[in-house]
Amino acid sequence: MEQVRACMRFWFTVSLLIFLAACASPPAIQGLNDQAFSRTGRFAVTVTQPGEAPQAVQGGFAWRDSGQVQRLDLANPMGSILARVEIRPTEAVLTRSDGSQQVAPDADALLLQVVGASMPVQGLRRWLQGQIDADARDITRTKDGKPAAFVSKGWSVRLSRYDSLGPRILLLERNEGAQGVRVRLVVDGA
């Protein structure tokens, strides 16, 4: 009987560890520039079209912005890196886990090519730091003056649960024609 309980405890512990690993963010991206801005967390993207089932993807992310180069690692829920996006001033490159690459002049064009929906990568660079774009409108702020909600480049953006680096929850929504896109980012760490 004690062996059965020990076996059950073992499998319960293994199951719990697998569940926790599935919810984990990928590791922070390391680099030579200690001044780089970085965040890790989880994402969920849902794209809806009338008459079609919603398309959804979720996983983890790690973001690093050195000022000259931005890198975004996207991981599946188990933590394996599915794709890496490197953004330089002259190009954006997507490298998939199989080594295949796709190149575009900038990150927004690259993700439109790959995902088939417009994604605000350049906006995310500022929004992850709690900054707003110069053309933002309908701005509301928290009690201490941080941006809480605004509209920028067609995206409705809500930022909340700030820490010392920026918001820990970002909710982005856009309706483009009949297509709806919703992005939720939950920041777990730096």
Taking only the tens place, the pLDDT of each residue in 130-178 is 999 888 999 999 999 999 999 998 899 999 999 999 999 999 999 888 8
Is 8's pLDDT higher than 70?
no
CA 58 to CA 159: how far, in whole Å?
19
Q: What is the CATH number of domain 2-189?
A: 2.50.20.10
Q: Is 12 helix (H, G, I), strand (E, B) or coil?
A: helix
Closest CA relative to residue 147, chosen from 117, 163, 118, 127: 127
- Find the mean pLDDT for residues 103-119: 80
E-state strands within 20-100? 37-48, 55-65, 70-75, 81-88, 91-96
What pLDDT does 20 receive?
Answer: 38
Instruction: Label residue 69 left, alpha or beta by phi (over 0 means left) and psi (-120 to 50 means alpha).
Output: beta
Residue 103 CA to residue 114 CA, distance in Å, equals 10
- Is 34's pLDDT higher than 70? no
User: What tokens does 103 get?
Assistant: 């190149």
Where do the H-state alpha helices sit in the chain?
A: 2-22, 107-115, 121-127
Q: Is the pLDDT of residue 46 over 50?
A: yes
Residue 79 gets the label, from left (phi > 0), alpha (psi -120 to 50) or beta, of left
pLDDT for residue 118 is more than 90: no
